[in-house]
Amino acid sequence: MKNKVPLTPLLLFLATVAVAQETRVLELEDGGRIRYTLSTFPADAHRLEAAAPLAPTDALSTAKLVTQHLAAGRIEEASLLSNAPKARYERLRESLADWTEADFARAYGRYFAPENRIIGDAAIGKHRLLMWYLKDTDYLTGYFVVEVDGKFLLDDVPSETRSRLRQVLEAHRSGRAR
């Protein structure tokens, strides 16, 4: 009889990290190209872990933590995970002013449902695009994340790199990126 290895927190964490990584090139209609690295994840990578890290350690954990905060209606906490927290807070406060606790739970809690999944994490330098597929709406949403001083934050500051990642998202939405 073989000894079974217990699932330690480290093993659980490693089970949610990217399983594959490849360099891709998106051909643009104007003849330009966007080179990015796409990391893919296990089917259940979007699910919540029992012992989530206290601070986000990558684009996926940042998106999950932001979504958890939003599902609970904690827009201030979600905003603090941005590279422009005041602007993010104002946008959320204005957009979600009339929402109830149930509205937040319904809109954002569904991200963690088993039928949804993370399509991938597209990276250009320190900028990331985490693509999260929501089956109930058949929609691919994106979280723009940037690494700043070793921290992973929502990328709310316009930049050329973020614009290129938006083109990558649109290509995945339309089926042009494979």
Between the CA of residue 64 and those of 16, 38, 41, 82, 164, what are the distances in Å?
A: 12, 18, 14, 13, 23
pLDDT score for 50: 65
Instruction: Tell whether 143 is covered by a domain.
Output: yes
Owning domain of residue 103: 56-174
CATH number at residue 132: 3.10.450
- How many domains are contained in the chain? 1
pLDDT score for 19: 78
Nearest in space to 141 (alpha carbons), one of 46, 56, 76, 74: 46
Name beta bridge partners: 82: 154
Instruction: Tell whether 30 is covered by a domain.
Output: no
Instruction: Tell whether 146 is covered by a domain.
Output: yes
Instruction: Tell whether 23 is covered by a domain.
Output: no
Residues 6+ apart with CB under 8 A from 45: 16, 60, 117, 118
Q: What is the DSSP string of 116-134?
A: -EEEEEEEETTEEEEEEEE
- Kindly state the DSSP code that residue 110 receives in the 8-state scheme: G
pLDDT score for 11: 38
d(CA 131, CA 58): 13
- Kindly state the DSSP code that residue 176 receives in the 8-state scheme: -
Instruction: Tell whether 78 is covered by a domain.
Output: yes
Instruction: Tell whether 22 is covered by a domain.
Output: no
Other CB atoms within a 10 A radius of the CB of residue 163 amount to 10
pLDDT score for 144: 98
Instruction: Tell whether 12 is covered by a domain.
Output: no
Name beta bridge partners: 142: 131
Three-class DSSP category at 76: helix
Instruction: Tell whether 169 is covered by a domain.
Output: yes
Task: From first to last of the 178 residues of the chain, give the pLDDT tens digit.
Answer: 444 444 444 434 444 456 789 999 999 999 999 999 999 999 999 998 766 666 788 999 999 999 999 999 999 999 999 999 999 999 999 999 999 999 999 999 999 999 999 999 999 999 999 999 999 999 999 999 999 999 999 999 999 999 999 999 999 999 998 6
